[in-house]
Chain A
Amino acid sequence: MTVIDWGYILAAFPDLMRGLGMTLMVSLLAILFSLLLGLAGCALRVSGIRPLSYAMRGYVEFIRGTPYLVQIFFVFYGLPSLGFTLSIFWSGVLALTIWASAFHIESFRAGLASVGREMHDASASLGLRRLPHALLVVAPIALRSALPSTLNTVVGTIKNSAYLQAIGLVELTFVAVDRIAQDFRSTEMFLSICVIYLVVILGVSALGHRLERRLNRPYGSR
């Protein structure tokens, strides 16, 4: 019965942009932290030290096997009763980081598995020590295989930040839902935020694909 009220979207735009700012901030921090934690977690996972390796396996299974919303509630409502009280913002960053790290651990592990024993032999025979071997040989080769699924998790981190409206973080989805509660313009608002999310994620994907092409360059032109 109605067409889309473009004027309403225009009026809501500044609010939506403020929400987007929060979405980007929380996501960016979580992406950064989760990549670092994922790397560290993967190192522990493949360290060969049994207790650490099992701890990482347990962590991954736990995060993969429980609903994301429950994890957020656990961080926001559960941790304070254990003595850790965080602001809404940092609860959000933490919950997202915990979630994404588990998936990064698995992606990185798959990447590592793609680096054969031959590379170790080559570096060892040349006298290259462990650290330069890990950084200059293993990491770039592993990253290439890990990149597509890592990109999935990065994009998932941005999308999952929408759940944080459930604990009252004023991010993009919160702004939209809040306005709908007041003005009942659900079509306009959901359409708007869908487009905004899509634009952001297409941008991130484009960056990711550029990196992928760069890493594939040595292999492409056979």
Chain B
Amino acid sequence: MDGTGAAEQGIAFDRVNKWYGQMHVLQDVTFSVAPGEKIVVCGPSGSGKSTMIRCINRLEEHQAGTIRVGGVEVNDQRRNIEQVRRRVGMVFQNFNLYPHLTILENCTLAQRWVRGTPRAEAEARAMRYLERVRIPDQARKYPGQLSGGQQQRVAIARSLCMEPEIMLFDEPTSALDPELVREVLDTMVSLAEEGMTMICVTHEMGFARQVADRVIFMDRGRIVESAHPDDFFSNPKEERSRLFLSQILH
């Protein structure tokens, strides 16, 4: 569970607040994630889910409160940000692959330029992870030649090449055709089974039931409810959670 030890190892949010102009997009968000925990974050659009996980690796800045990742505070210190980004990988809704580079190059660019890994070693590691997401045969192709599901699996492999301790997923299946969702979720499930710490913003409730240790439900910038998926789905405590579930589960 998320005891105090989690603050040193995993992720800890303490009364995090963020505003876009007048809009209060994160309101006193407090929670922690222990190493190896899998969290699913859900909630209506505009509830602050994406903003919240984008704060973890400083793609967004928070204005008040503290965020710690592995004991390192996420603030405007460049060294801290770099340290946190080394530990945290991220997968985006729209894959965000580099369109001008091959699949293999997508997976080696950061290895070579962030960690200074020699080319041969970087390519070997890339191929290992491409095999793990089951698309090694596409290594020489460009992202535009792949299906959305394949692209998203490449994006996962690209992230894993940096060997992160924590993976963030920001609606990884929302941009996919329905028949391609399964292959991406399968990859995520296998990652979860290997003990990766994961935070996933998703509306895939089947996935949440299967792997999540906790479901965090957000609405209007607040965490409304945080519960084990069995409790959350069968017996949500909050009215807003119930309403949300009734809208997405049918």
Contact = CB atoms under 8 A, between A and B. Distances in A.
Given A127-B82, A128-B110, A121 B142 contact: no
B162 A127 contact: yes
Contact of B88 (A125, A129, A219, A221): A125
Contact of A122 (B58, B98, B114, B142): B98
Interface centre among B100, B113, B158, B162 (most CB of A within 10 A): B100
B142 A126 contact: no
Nearest to A220: B144
Interface string B144-165: 1100000000000011001000
Contacts of B89: 125-126
Contacts of A218: 99-102, 142-144
A122 B92 contact: yes
A128 B142 CA distance: 20
B150 to A, nearest CB: 13
Interface stretch (A135-143, A162-170, A202-210): A135-143
Contacts of A219: 99, 142, 144
B110 A127 contact: yes
Interface in A96-152: 118-119, 121-129, 132, 136-137, 140-141, 144
A124 B99 CA distance: 16
Looking at chain A's contact residues, the main secondary structure is helix
Given A141-B99, A141-B100, A218-B144, A128 B92 contact: no
A219 B146 CA distance: 11
B64 interface: no
B90 interface: yes
B97 interface: yes
Interface of B: 57-59, 82, 85-86, 88-90, 92, 94, 96-102, 109-110, 113-114, 142-145, 158-159, 162, 168
A122 to B, nearest CB: 4
A124 B145 contact: no
Nearest to A143: B100
A221 B110 contact: no
B109 A128 contact: yes
Interface of A: 118-119, 121-129, 132, 136-137, 140-141, 144, 215, 217-219, 221-222
A126 B144 contact: no
Given A124-B59, A128-B109, 11 more contacts: A121-B92, A121-B96, A125-B90, A125-B92, A126-B109, A126-B114, A136-B113, A137-B109, A218-B101, A218-B144, A222-B144
A140 B98 CA distance: 10
Contacts of A118: 92, 94, 96
B11 to A, nearest CB: 15
Given A219-B99, A222-B145, A125 B82 contact: no
B167 to A, nearest CB: 10
Contacts of A217: 142
Contacts of A123: 110
B142 A127 contact: no
A144 B97 contact: no
Nearest to A118: B96
9 contacts: A118-B96, A121-B59, A122-B92, A126-B85, A126-B114, A126-B158, A128-B113, A128-B114, A218-B143
Contacts of A125: 57, 59, 85, 88-90, 92, 159, 168
Nearest to B102: A218
Q: 10 shortest A-B CB distances, which residue pairs?
A: A126-B110, A125-B90, A218-B142, A122-B96, A118-B96, A127-B85, A132-B113, A127-B114, A140-B100, A218-B100
